[in-house]
Chain A
Amino acid sequence: MLGTNLIEIKNFHVSYGKKLVLKNLSFHVKAKECLTLLGESGVGKTTLLRCIIGLKRPTNGEIFVEGENVVEMDEEKLLAVRKKVAYAFQNGALFDSMTVFENLALPLTEHTQLSFQTIKKRVKKELEEFDLQGTEKLYPSELSGGMKKRVGIARCMMLKPKVILYDEPTVSLDPYNTANLVKTMLKLKKKGTTSILVTHNMSVAMQISDRIALLSEGKIVAIGTPETIEKDYNVLLKNFMKGIKGGLSYEKISH
């Protein structure tokens, strides 16, 4: 399977009203690969991920998931795609009328015939994986920010999706949980899960990505393996890390 394009994005434009956010984006993600998107806040990373599972429609362009064009699908077909492609929301997006257990169990009760006991075991295992034991009966309002985040990520892994889109998964996590999450992500990757990762955390990006794409002003400035990016686009990365505004764009920093 390795080598085929699981996700392919072609001539992709997105705008909110009159504001064009992403301009003429084209890239692909191979099966079992982890692609990391780096870019400033507000460049449109979340928007891009939302488009891939059809939560937002692009103004123009195509998105293929396993050869099928997401842009042309109706809601019903999209539901099927979303079972394969999980999206870990930037803010967790937990259901606040349900407990942590119910939040995690929901995808399984909806889409599988598993018995309650099996579901209970799966949930327990997943909670342990994220160091969340004993939170089953709590409501999202009773969790800390980092806990919510982890529950959100755990929930999107329940169905064992083929592709996971992580939206800044390590934000608001402490170093221990960050390392833990990286471990889990690497484990899933080893099992063959494809992923797109949006992050501001360079060390996480370096640890798990096969390729890194730098986004600036709605365009991809550079894309390549972590090594090439580190070597060839060192100036850009350094600027980005130093916190220089517009640091990911050559034009802005040339003088």
Chain B
Amino acid sequence: MKTFRLHLSGLKRSTRSEPKGLNLVPLWVVLAGFLLAACGNDMRDQPRYDPLAPAPGWPNDQSARVPVEGTVARDESLQPVPDTLPEPLTRELLERGGQRYEIFCSPCHGDSGRGDGMVVQRGFPAPPSLHGAHLREIPLRHFYDVIENGFGRMYAYGARVPARDRWAIAAYIRALQLSQYAKLDDLAPRQRKQLQRESREDTP
């Protein structure tokens, strides 16, 4: 108790001039510093599970549990999956689809969809070209289903590609197919002229 009073009197400026004993403030500051320094690791490792952290005592020592069969996520749609694109086709959707296609599909199907991706070049069985007659005719929904559930030797991508991205990829594949079979008449007049000019320059 005595030391505590000394501490306080040391802090009060008005009592400075009064005669008093030792000024212990510096000592307290140093001691407090040591006390705080000792608290280190409790805050570094707080009693909580970080994502994918192990949880001894649970099945497989996993903190990430598999949801019960039939669980519906809060933002999941309860409607049956539509047969065609559920939203208007926009440039933004196609760009998203292109980006996702390059991440998830092009390692095998190749950037152009001809089934010559980098992994195929290293020995993975080649997938069919996406420009085959059969796949050009097929409804968009087929691509959605193949992404969600896989197909033959192709594993399912449903866990990594959410529903909206599946539609975006499907739309992009359709655009990719059209791009490979575009006729001269499909081009805008200016592009058509440019193409004709360029091909004339190419053939001397």
A-B complex is real: no
Interface residues, chain B, with chain A CB atoms under 8 Å away: none
Interface residues, chain A, with chain B CB atoms under 8 Å away: none
